[in-house]
Structure 1
Amino acid sequence: MNEKKKIRAWVMYDWANSAFATTIMAAVMPIYFISVAGGTDGSWSFTQTAAAIVVALLSPLLGAIADYSGRKVFFLRAFTIIGALASAGLAFVGTGDMWLASVLVVIGMVGFGTGNTFYDALLNDITSPDLREGVSARGYAMGYLGGGLLLAVNLGLILGWDKIGLPDKTAASQISFVSVGIWWLVFSWPLFRNLKDQRSAIAGGLRDTLKTGSRRLGETFSQLKKYPELLKFMVSYWFFFDGINTIIVMAASYGTTIGIEDKDLITALLITQFIGFPATLAFGKMADRLGSKKMLYGSLVTYLIIVILGYFMTNSLHFYLLACLVGLVQGGSQATSRAIFSKMIPQGRTAEFNGFLSFTSRFFSFGGPLVFGIVKLVSDSSRSALLAVALFFVAGIILLTFVNLAKGEKEAEQPYSV
C-alpha cells in the first residue's frame, strides 16, 4: 500500500475517536454527570484520576508486547471496541446513577487512552520523520472536524429535543452517547482495513509473550539514560500534558459550577472544535517553518493565559472567548508534541516507548484533576482550583528550555542495545 493511502487511513482514526473526546470527555457527559447522574465537579475529577491510573498501568506493558509481537493494530482494534461499547452503555445511566456513570466513563477512557498508545506508535510506521509534524497535525485537525461535527449533531438533539419528538433532554443526551459508540466504530474501519500488522515470526504463546513484554519494558527503563534529551522532553511533557488534560476534562464541569448554562458550555466547546480544525493545520505548517519548539512554547504560554483569564470568567461571552483561544493552540500543541517525541524514539520500539510515555504521563496526569479536586475541597472555590493548574504549565515551559531537539534526534539513530 502506498504511503498516502496509509496516511489517509491513519488520519481518519482521529476523526473517529475524537467523538469520544468531545461528547464524552469534554461536553455532554460532564454536564450530564452533574445534572442527571448526581455527581459533582469534584467527583468528576476523581473519575478522571481513576481512568488515568488504569491507562498508566496498562499502556507500557501492552506497548512492549505490541512491538515484540507486531500487533499494534490488533491492540488498537481491541481498545476501540471496548471504548465504543462503554460509550454506548452510558445510555443506561439515569437519575442518580453516579457510580454506573463513573465506571462506564473510566472504561471508555481506558479504551480511548490506551488505544491512543498504539495509534500514536503507528505514526512512525506510516511516514518519514520529515513529514511527521504535518501528518500529526492533519490527524488532530481531522479529529477536531469529526468530533465537532458529531458534537454539532448531538447539540441539536439536546437543545431541540422537544421539536423532534423526544420525551426530554435526558433522552437526547442518552442518544448522543450511543452515537459516539457507532461513530467511533464506523470511522475506525479504514485504518483496520488498510493497515495490517506485521506479525513477528518469533512471537510465541501468551505466556512467552507476556514474559518477553515484561522483560522489554524493564529494558526500556534501563535504556532511558542513553537518550537524555528524550528523557528531558518527557519530564517537560508530563507537566504540560497534565495541564492540557485537566483543562479538557474539567472545562465543562467548571463552567457548570460557576453558573454557565448547558447550551453555552456545549456551544463554546463546539466553537473550539471548528476553530481547531484550520488552526491545527496552520500550526503544523508554522512548526515546519519556525520550528517545533518555538511553536510549542507559544502554545503553552497561551494556555497559561487561558487559565489566568478563566479565573476571572463570569459569563458565557467570556467562556466563548476562552474557547476560541483553546481552539487556536490545543490541537497544535498536542500534534507537535507527538511529532517531536516520534523523532526521538529508537526504531523498533515505537509502541513500547509510546506506552512508556502514556504510562508516565497518565501516572502524572491524575495530578491535575487531583489538585483541582483537593484545592476545591480545601478552599470551596472552583476558581482557586482552576488557578492551581497554571503551575503545571509554568513547570512544563521551564523544563522545555533544557531540551535539545536536534541532539535528541541523533541519539535516536544510535543502535538500541541491552
Structure 2
Amino acid sequence: MFPTGQDRADQTEGTNPRMWDDRKSVRSWIMYDWANSAFATTVMAAVMPIYYQKAIGGTDAGWAFTQTASAVIIALLAPLLGAMADHSGNKKAFLRVFTFIGAAASLCLAIPGKGDVLFASLLVILGMIGFGAGGTFYDALLNDVASPANRERVSARGFAMGYLGGGVLLAVNLLLIMSPGTFGLPEGSAGSQISFAMVGVWWILFSIPLFRNVKEASVRPDGTLGSQVRAGILRLGETFRQIRHYPELWKFMIAYWFFFDGVNTVIVMATSYGTTIGIKDSDLIAALLITQFVGFPATVLFGNMASRLGSKNMLYGSMALYVAIVILGFFMKNALHFYLLAGLVGLVQGGSQATARAAYSRLIPPARTAEFNGFLTFTSRFFSFGGPLVFGLVKVFTDSSRYAILAVAFFFVAAMVLLTFVNIAKGEREAERAFDGWSTDSGRTASI
C-alpha cells in the first residue's frame, strides 16, 4: 500500500502532503470529464462528421485522414509531454495549455464554410490534440486526488460525469440543429456553428474547478523550458529501458492494448456498420444519446462494483459482454436492435475504461504518473490500427460487414486471456520498489 499521511514525494523533495480524497479536489477532478466530453460527443462523434461532409464539402476519406493525422501527432507527443510534466512537477500547467488549445479550436470551428476543408481539418486536428494530449495529464492527476483504495470509484465517477455532460450538451446542440426556428435561428448551418462554439465555452467553463482546487505533489522544477525538454527526452529514454523492471505492468499493458483496440473499433465502426445495414442517420444519433445516458449511472455502478469485487473481475465481465455485443451485432437487422446494443455498450464502455485506468494507476511509479500515462497513450494509439485493419480485411475477403464486426471479438477474447496472467497486487509492490530506487534529484533512474 501507499504511505498514508505523507506523500512519497515529501520524503525526498517536497514538504507539502498530497490531499488524497479531499472531496473538493475529487469533485473538481471529476468535473473535467464533464467539461471535455462535450468535444467527444459533438465534434468527434455526432455533429462535426456530418457537417464536415454536407456543409463544408469534405469527404469521408478526408475525415478519416484528419483523424489519422491527429492520432499520430498525439501518439508522438504524449510520452515526451508526460515526461516533461513529471520533471517539472506541474501537470496542471500542461493540462491548462491543451485545454485552451482544444477549446479555442472548438470555438473557431464555427468559422469554416463551404469549401474550407483544409481549414476545418486543421482545426479538428488541433481540437483532437487538445483533447487527447490533455487527457494524458488529466489521467495522471488521478494519483494526486484519490488514494489507491478509492481510485476505481473516483475514476468511474469521472467517466460517468463525462457521459452525462457530453450527452446533455449534445442533446441541446441537436435541438439547435434540428429546430433552429425555435431558438430564432435561420435554417442552415447556424445551429451547427453555434454548437461548436458552445463546446469551446463549455470546455473552458467547467475546467475551472480543476485548475482552482486540485493540488498535485510538488517537486523541484528545473526552471527553463529547454532544460525540461532535455530532461523529458532523457526520462523518456529511461522509461523504455527501465520498464522491464515492471513485468506485471508490461503484461497489463499488452492486455490493455487488445482491449483498447476492440473498444476503439466498436466506437469508430459502429456508425459505418449501422449505415451499411440500413440504419437511418436519425437512429444512429439517437443510439449515441442512449449510450451516453445509460453510461452515466452504469459507470458509477461499475466503479462501485469494481471496488468491491476487484478490477480484474469487472474487466473480465466487461470483456465478456463486449464479445456478446459483437456477436449480437452480427445478427442485428433493424433500428431497435441497434438501440438495444447501444444500451449494452453504455453499460460497460465507461466503467471498463475507468476501471482499467484505475488499475493502471496502481502499477506505475508514483513519481512518474504523467510520463507513464503518456507512454500508455502512445502505445495504445500506436497499436489501435489493428481492429479497423482486421475489420477491413475481413470485409474485403468475405464481402460481409457482419463477418467483419464478428471478427472484432478476437480482441476481447485475447485481452481476457492475457489479463489472467496479471497479478495486480504484485504489480503494486513492483511499483513501490521502483520508486524507492528512483533518483529524484536528477530526473534519472538509479540501477534497480
TM beyond 0.5? yes
Identify if the C-alpha distance between structure 1 residues 343 and 26 changes in structure 2 by more than 3 Å, giving closer, same or farther: same
More off after superposition, 207-216 vs 335-344: 207-216
Counterpart in the other structure of 1:346:
365
**Distance (whole Å) between structure 2 residues aligned to residue 87 and residue 376 of structure 1:** 35
Question: Which residue does the alignment assign to 2:246?
Answer: 227
1:132 aligns with 2:154: no
The corresponding residue for 2:329 is: 310
Q: Does 1:335 align with 2:354?
A: yes
Aligned residues: 418
Which of 256, 259, 262 pairs up with 1:243? 262
Unpaired runs of at least 5, structure 2: 1-18, 439-445
Between the two proteins, what is the percent identity of the paired residues? 67
Conserved 8 A contact 2:25-2:215: no
Secondary structure class of the residue paired with 2:183: coil
* Residue aligning to 1:47: 66
Matching residue of 1:185: 204
Describe how 1:321-400 pairs up with structure 2 within 5 A: 321-372=340-391, 382-400=401-419
Change (3 A) 1:258 1:99: farther
Q: How does 1:145-160 map to 2 (within 5 A)?
A: 145-160=164-179
Query: What residue in structure 2 maps to residue 92 of structure 1?
Result: 111
Task: Give the distance between the partners of 1:388 and 1:92, measured in 2 at CA.
Answer: 41
On the 8 A contact 2:141/2:216 being kept in 1, the answer is no
* CA-CA distance at 1:249 after TM superposition: 3.1
Call closer, same or farther: CA 1:52–1:384 in 2, change over 3 Å: farther
Q: Distance in 2 between matches of 1:306 and 1:402?
A: 25
**Which residue of the partner structure matches residue 320 of structure 1?**
339
* Counterpart residue number, 1:405: 424
CA distance in 1, matches of 2:105, 2:388: 22
1:349 counterpart SS class: helix
Partners of 2:54 and 2:338 lie apart in 1 by 19
Letter in 2 for 1:309: L
Structure 2 residue aligned with 1:298:
317
C-alpha distance in 1 between matches for 2:318 and 2:53: 31
Q: Could you tell me how far 1:42 is from its partner in structure 2?
A: 5.0
2:42 is aligned with 1:33: no
Secondary structure in structure 1 of the residue aligned to 2:366: coil
Shift of 1:198: 5.6
The alpha carbon displacement at 1:362 in A equals 1.3
Aligned CA-pair RMSD? 2.3
Q: Which deviations, in whole Å up to 9, do the C-alpha atoms of 1:352-393 show, x marking residues without a partner?
A: 111111111111123334554566677765545434433322
Q: TM-score of the superposition, structure 1-length normalised? A: 0.93
Structure with more relative contact order (C-alpha pairs < 8 Å, separation 6 or more): 1
Native 8 Å contact 2:332 2:338 kept in 1: yes
- Residue type at the aligned position of 1:408: G
Question: Which amino acid is the alignment partner of residue 406 of structure 1?
Answer: A
AA matched with 1:16: A
Q: Which moved more, 1:272-281 or 1:385-394?
A: 385-394
Is 2:22 aligned against 1:3? yes
Determine helix, strand or coil for the equivalent of 1:366. helix
**Which residue does 1:164 correspond to in 2?**
183
Residues 36-115 of structure 1: pairs in structure 2 closer than 5 A: 36-39=55-58, 41-95=60-114, 97-115=116-134
Q: What amino acid is the match of 2:325?
A: I
User: Partners in 2 of 1:393 and 1:38 — Cα distance?
Assistant: 37
**Larger Rg belongs to:** 2
1:138 CA drift (Å): 0.8
Q: Distance in 2 between matches of 1:44 and 1:170?
A: 19
